[in-house]
Structure 1
Amino acid sequence: MQQASLATDLPEKDPRADADRGGRRAARPPLPFVVVAVAFVASQAVLMMPGMGLGWDETVYVSQVSPQAPAAFFSAPRARGISFLVAPVAAFTTSVDVLRCCLALLSGFALLLGLQVWRRLLPVAVLTLAGTLFATLWITLFYGPQVMPNLWVAFAALVATGCFLRAVRDPGDRAARIGLGCAVAVAALMRPTDACWLVAPLAVAALCVRSWRRPAVLAILVVGAAVGASAWVVEAYLSYGGLATRLRRAGEIQGGLGWHPAFGHQLRALEGRSLCRPCDMGWRDPATALWWFALPVLAAGGVWAAARTPLRATVLLPTVTGLVLAAPYLLTIDYAAARFLLPTYALLALPVAFCLWRLVTAVRPVLRPMAAAVIAVLLLAHVGSQYVTADRLVSRSRATREALARISTELHRQGVRPPCTVTGNESVRIAFQAGCSSRQLAGHDGSISRAGLLELAGRQPVGVLVAPGRPA
């Protein structure tokens, strides 16, 4: 009876969708998908965008393609994918608000695309709930309009996993093969190492599941990753002394890769910290991590609920892929940022949503309204806590933007105008606002010696920024 009930809720065959084998247009996204995507964009516009300045990492990425100031130092771990994404907007305007508006719209479209890819694999109700769960996380909302690569890797992972399932099951699904290659390439362009962790479980699944063994799909995985990572690899030889040297330097900047369980760090980061490094402070607000403890339980429940249905592989693969993507950030680095796990959250939203959906549909019809109401109340409480955390983080970002703007204005008042150079505390963001280049004497962004800085000061204005309470 359970399987029969489930079958009635599966996506029905749509002649227009099946016709895309011949190159015709696929079915339009269902209205619930559109509503989720529009609500996601609207939430960003209301909660995230107004008055929020560029973060430190964002400034580095934007400066690579913006005429506002010379490019900031580009360290070994970084990839230029997100800079390429914002290049058309950054070249057209220096307005941060316009940039964020464009990214919010793009992220809404990416969410819609990710849900639509899975339309033939899971029921619309499950996908709508999964999209809502992911889109209402404070991490997703906060990074939706930001110039950061992690959310785009998350969307790419969602699309790639769905396209993979469609491609291995239907050799004639040309759109799925194209989508798989493009999604893997986007992930590699944004973060090459993340793309490796994305491709690995998909490739293993294609080799281990007999009915999925399709050489073309394996080739697409490899070629997509190679194409996306090619810019990063070429840059390694042109600017970092080779691929091995760049990888080694990237590991050093990340504190040295090794056995470093970071579960506690991630829990602290969920309080609303964009970066927890070092992450040795107290855990002040454990309530912000309640959903994190529920996540593995509900995901396991989704896998268990699907185990005796035709959807077992469809639910299991994103679960395994999401866990693999989380492994390097939970086990190998000694710090945390909530954004690192965005690809994992995007994929685990599927089994979690399936679990919640089955909790409602598996009970007797007379009890379903009550079950749905209980789950809805819990989800509303969860969403409320996410919005509170996001608002707290955005408020800090706005205050920081105002403080940095005052410093930039003061530098201009004292004669530090382009061409100029700024060094010291928070030099990257302040230099970008002032139209100056930023140079550091030490650290992983060290790019000039003390003698070189003194020589530079003889040719152009140089501003030295010192943190409060520290000697100049």
Structure 2
Amino acid sequence: MTETSAVASGPQGQESPAGQGRSTAGGLGLPAAVAGVYTLVQLALVVRGSGLGWDETVYVSQVARDAEAAFFSAPRARGITYLVAPVTLLTSSVGALRVYLALLSGAGLLVALRVWRRLLPVPVLAVAGALFAGLWITVIYGPQAMPNLWAALGSLFAAGCFLRAARDPSDRAALAGLGGGMAFVALMRPSDALWLALPLGVAALVVPAWRRTALLLVLVAGTALGCGQWVVEAYTDFGGLLARLRRASEIQGHLGWHLAFDDQVRALDGRLLCRPCDVPWRRPVTAVWWFVLPLLTAGGALAAARLRRLPVVLLPALAALATAVPYLLLIGYAAPRFLLPTYALLSLPVAQCLTWICSAVRPRLLVVSVLAVALAGHLAVQYAVLAAVAARNRESRAAFGRVAAELARQGVRPPCVVSGTEAVRIAFRAGCASRQTGGHDRSITPAALVATARERPVAVVVAGKDAPPSYARSWRLQRLPDLPGRPGLRAYLAPSAQLGPGSRLSG
């Protein structure tokens, strides 16, 4: 029997030496502690004073009780909107939403690790969880209403369920978990689910012991179920599936051959979106871990081969590579959050490598000390980036609050409409609807906006040296407080926007 088939055939970790089954199936105190610390770090460093980003505002506005829904463009999926709905339908508090997501993401991390306990020792799972949760990207997006972290946790969960179901045909819970996990990922980000399903499907066909019809059917059915809403919406709102795919590709810069490795590296110093990513690489230290990652992954595979659990570590590594393909090779810009599924899956082979080094390489004390110092330095860098990103978020929230308050003083009060620069976030803070007459989020014609201005207060916001659209040039000009990266902010206010008590004109 080959090593692969031996590993594939054991239902309860029988590929391991005597006693390994007890180790892998034991308690999850360490991973639970990691998940708890992850949640506490979010609450302490990210939640306080944070505001909604642009993408978050789009997702949240779909189910917010006190706001009109922002335009929902072709690439977006509604999974994260469904996830936040239980809170946003009850309260407009951003703080409550943040706490809810922080608690939920900690629980999600624990659930995603728990499914692996029959496959890998608990210490490996604890280290994997700590490595993934220790990234500034993972912490910053834990309490955010964004789909990428949830796609990552769902991918980790689904890959574990796949391996358990493949190794043990009687594990019906794992088979159901595979279908649910794939549907969850697809509901969050359909493209991520398709790239994840590819290596899992190939593995189910290539490995003889895993070649079962039920496994493939559940994999395909779960993915299709999760993509169903996106496909139906393509026909109801975008003119068909191909039309939506074309529009999504256009909005993302026309998908094609784009090498984005250098863009992703530059973005690691705290840029949430690097588009275009032609900025200088000022802090290379923030990307050291990124270059070490492939080496530790390869080391994890070698260690797993020695421990006779290579397929258990190799499959998530291959799945990680597949999920990285579109963001490293097909999109011409970068956002660190895009690779969260890749990092979640790679945390397992990396953790296997580190735990094996600590136990097998001599002198052990020296090896452990060197690794501890390296990890401490890594975490210090992650914390520095996290602190800077969180501070910018708080500054941004305060700035948007000032803009919304000034618009209210100038008569832009609900029911109202905001168009132009940063319309989505300004409108949400002001209690208005956001409408754009051009660009990717075009949702109204200039004539229709002018007609709306006869009935509702309308503000067209421009920044810097940008000129107002022709239909708004005769409207009242009002200077606004600057936004980060948007100096010279001003609004052109329709006659329907009446000055509030104590307000004054400024031009």
TM-score > 0.5, shorter chain as reference: yes
What are the equivalent positions in structure 2 for 1:217-232 lying under 5 Å apart? 217-232=215-230
What are the equivalent positions in structure 2 for 1:404-419 lying under 5 Å apart? 404-419=400-415
SS in 1 for 2:451: helix
Q: Which residue of 1 aligns with 2:360?
A: 362
SS in 2 for 1:122: coil
SS in 2 for 1:464: strand
Q: Which residue of 2 aligns with 1:385?
A: 381
Question: Could you tell me the TM-score, scaled by structure 1's length?
Answer: 0.94
Q: Which residue of 1 aligns with 2:93?
A: 95
Distance 1:347 1:458, change over 3 A: same
1:425 correspondence with 2:421:
yes
Distance 1:199 1:418, change over 3 A: same
1:152 correspondence with 2:162:
no
CA separation in 2, counterparts of 1:50 and 1:9?
46
CA separation in 1, counterparts of 2:191 and 2:128?
26
1:174: how far off? 1.4
Q: Which residue of 1 aligns with 2:332?
A: 334
CA separation in 2, counterparts of 1:324 and 1:290?
22
- Whichever residue aligns with residue 10 of structure 1, its letter is Q
Q: Which residue of 2 aligns with 1:53?
A: 51
1:244: how far off? 0.7
Q: Deviations over 1:236-294 (max 9, x none)?
A: 00000001100110000000011100000000110101100010111111110000000
| 2:404–2:430 Cα contact (<8 Å) kept | yes
Q: Deviations over 1:268-326 (max 9, x none)?
A: 11010110001011111111000000001110111122223320000100000000000
Distance 1:9 1:454, change over 3 A: farther
| 1:202–1:321 Cα contact (<8 Å) kept | yes
- Whichever residue aligns with residue 122 of structure 2, its letter is V
1:177: how far off? 0.8
What are the equivalent positions in structure 2 for 1:298-317 lying under 5 Å apart? 298-317=296-315
| 2:43–2:102 Cα contact (<8 Å) kept | yes
1:469: how far off? 3.5
Q: Which residue of 2 aligns with 1:374?
A: 370
CA separation in 2, counterparts of 1:294 and 1:92?
45
Q: Deviations over 1:30-72 (max 9, x none)?
A: 2101100100000000111100100000000000001121100
- Whichever residue aligns with residue 411 of structure 2, its letter is G
1:439 correspondence with 2:435:
yes
Q: Deviations over 1:145-179 (max 9, x none)?
A: 00000000000100011110000110111111111
- Whichever residue aligns with residue 116 of structure 2, its letter is W
SS in 2 for 1:7: coil
Q: Which residue of 2 aligns with 1:325?
A: 323
- Whichever residue aligns with residue 43 of structure 1, its letter is V
CA separation in 1, counterparts of 2:86 and 2:428?
18
Q: Pick from 86, 102, 109: which aligns with 2:107? A: 109
- Whichever residue aligns with residue 36 of structure 1, its letter is V
CA separation in 2, counterparts of 1:340 and 1:35?
27
SS in 1 for 2:184: helix
Would you say how many aligned residue pairs link Structure 1 and Structure 2?
Answer: 456
SS in 2 for 1:93: coil
SS in 2 for 1:118: coil
CA separation in 2, counterparts of 1:330 and 1:7?
39
Distance 1:304 1:13, change over 3 A: closer
What are the equivalent positions in structure 2 for 1:120-159 lying under 5 Å apart? 120-159=118-157
- Whichever residue aligns with residue 251 of structure 2, its letter is I
| 1:11–1:122 Cα contact (<8 Å) kept | no
Q: Pick from 384, 391, 395: which aligns with 1:399? A: 395
SS in 2 for 1:307: helix
1:466 correspondence with 2:462:
yes
1:199 correspondence with 2:197:
yes
1:8: how far off? 6.1
1:441: how far off? 1.5
1:185: how far off? 0.4
1:11: how far off? 4.0
1:13: how far off? 7.0
Q: Pick from 276, 280, 283: which aligns with 2:281? A: 283
CA separation in 1, counterparts of 2:103 and 2:173?
23
What are the equivalent positions in structure 2 for 1:72-83 lying under 5 Å apart? 72-83=70-81
| 1:266–1:337 Cα contact (<8 Å) kept | yes
Task: State the identity %.
Answer: 58
Query: Structure 1: where are the runs of 5+ without partners?
Result: 18-26
What are the equivalent positions in structure 2 for 1:242-253 lying under 5 Å apart? 242-253=240-251
Q: Deviations over 1:188-212 (max 9, x none)?
A: 0001111000111000000000000
| 1:201–1:321 Cα contact (<8 Å) kept | yes
CA separation in 2, counterparts of 1:337 and 1:202?
25
CA separation in 1, counterparts of 2:18 and 2:359?
11
1:344: how far off? 0.2
Q: Which residue of 1 aligns with 2:478?
A: none
Which stretch of the first structure deviates more once superposed, 300-309 or 441-450?
A: 300-309
Q: Which has the larger radius of gyration?
A: 2
Q: Which residue of 2 aligns with 1:263?
A: 261
- Whichever residue aligns with residue 87 of structure 1, its letter is A
CA separation in 1, counterparts of 2:19 and 2:450?
71
1:12 correspondence with 2:22:
yes
Q: Which residue of 2 aligns with 1:21?
A: none
Distance 1:206 1:258, change over 3 A: same
Q: Which residue of 1 aligns with 2:214?
A: 216
SS in 1 for 2:418: strand
| 1:329–1:336 Cα contact (<8 Å) kept | yes
CA separation in 1, counterparts of 2:19 and 2:428?
53
| 1:9–1:123 Cα contact (<8 Å) kept | no
CA separation in 2, counterparts of 1:286 and 1:363?
30
Q: Deviations over 1:365-420 (max 9, x none)?
A: xx222211211111111011101101101111111111110000011111111111
| 1:143–1:151 Cα contact (<8 Å) kept | yes
CA separation in 2, counterparts of 1:243 and 1:357?
46
Q: Which residue of 1 aligns with 2:36?
A: 38
| 1:11–1:119 Cα contact (<8 Å) kept | no
1:353: how far off? 0.7
Which stretch of the first structure deviates more once superposed, 298-307 or 281-290?
A: 298-307
